[in-house]
């Protein structure tokens, strides 16, 4: 299975207040995010994390606890990536470019931390998944915020999301 998520902000105290997250401490938030992730994601699944994984100098303590093959597109709070050692994860973690395309349900899906007004093949039916805005920007039929703050503090199954977007688009086009 393939999953998408963004803006976990592991270890980030201020995100509790900034986003009104329902936790009394950053430790409680981190534990809940890890539990939510691992309840959905199996070790053989792929997770595209679209940025702002953690503010900490190292992501190791979180990556070691999370299931799946994790593909990270850097966000605005991912300075730790510059010093990250991929070798210790034996291919389980990969750092992707800031802008990355995949396919699902016959659609091109453009992944980026930041929301865009226009993206590759946007005039030809491609979709754009992003984070960064913590639910402060309305989704459109072709663009969707996959951040945890608007998605039950957990990753979203990619095929389910794309099928929902296809259904919504067929209703919009009527």
Query: What pLDDT digit, counting tens, does each position of 24-41 carry?
Result: 999 999 999 999 999 999
Could you read off the pLDDT of 46-105 as tens digits, one per residue?
999 999 999 888 899 999 999 999 999 999 999 888 888 888 888 899 999 999 999 999
Q: Domain map of the chain by residue range?
A: 2-172
pLDDT at 173: 57
Cα separation of 68 and 42, whole Å?
A: 6
Phi, psi for 161 (deg, rounded to 5)? -60, -50
Q: Which residues contact 76 (CB under 8 A, 6 or more apart)?
A: 51, 52, 113, 132
With residue 170 as reference, give the H or E element that holds it: helix 158-172
- pTM of the model as a whole: 0.95
pLDDT value at 174 more than 70: no
How far are the Cα atoms of 12, 59, 147, 164 from residue 29, in angstroms, in the given order?
9, 15, 15, 28
CATH number of 2-172: 3.60.21.10
DSSP state of 168: H
Q: What was the pLDDT predicted at 83? A: 84
- Proportion of the chain in helix, strand, coil states, percent, rounded to 5: 30, 25, 45
Q: Do 50 and 5 touch, CB atoms closer than 8 A?
A: yes
Instruction: Report which of 34, 33, 35, 7 is spatially closest to residue 22, judged by C-alpha positions.
Output: 33
The two tokens of residue 81 are 């990536």
pLDDT at 169: 77
Residue 90's pLDDT is 84
The two structure tokens encoding residue 167: 């259904």
For CA atoms 68, 71, 73, 75, the dihedral sign is positive
């Amino acid at each position: 299975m393939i999953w998408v998520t963004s803006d976990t902000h592991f270890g980030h105290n201020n995100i509790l207040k900034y986003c009104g997250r329902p936790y009394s401490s950053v430790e409680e938030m981190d534990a809940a995010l890890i539990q939510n992730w691992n309840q959905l994601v199996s070790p053989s699944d792929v997770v595209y994390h679209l940025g702002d994984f953690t503010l900490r100098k190292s992501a190791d303590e979180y990556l070691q606890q999370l299931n799946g093959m994790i593909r990270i597109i850097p966000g605005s709070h991912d300075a730790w990536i510059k010093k990250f050692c991929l070798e210790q994860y034996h291919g389980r973690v990969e750092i992707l470019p800031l802008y990355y395309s995949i396919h699902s349900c016959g659609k091109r899906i453009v992944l980026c931390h930041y929301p865009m007004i226009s993206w590759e093949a946007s005039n030809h039916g491609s979709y754009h998944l992003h984070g960064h805005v913590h639910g402060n920007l309305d989704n459109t039929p072709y663009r969707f915020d996959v951040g945890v703050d608007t998605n039950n503090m957990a990753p979203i199954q990619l095929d389910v999301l794309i099928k929902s977007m296809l259904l919504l688009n067929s209703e919009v086009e009527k």
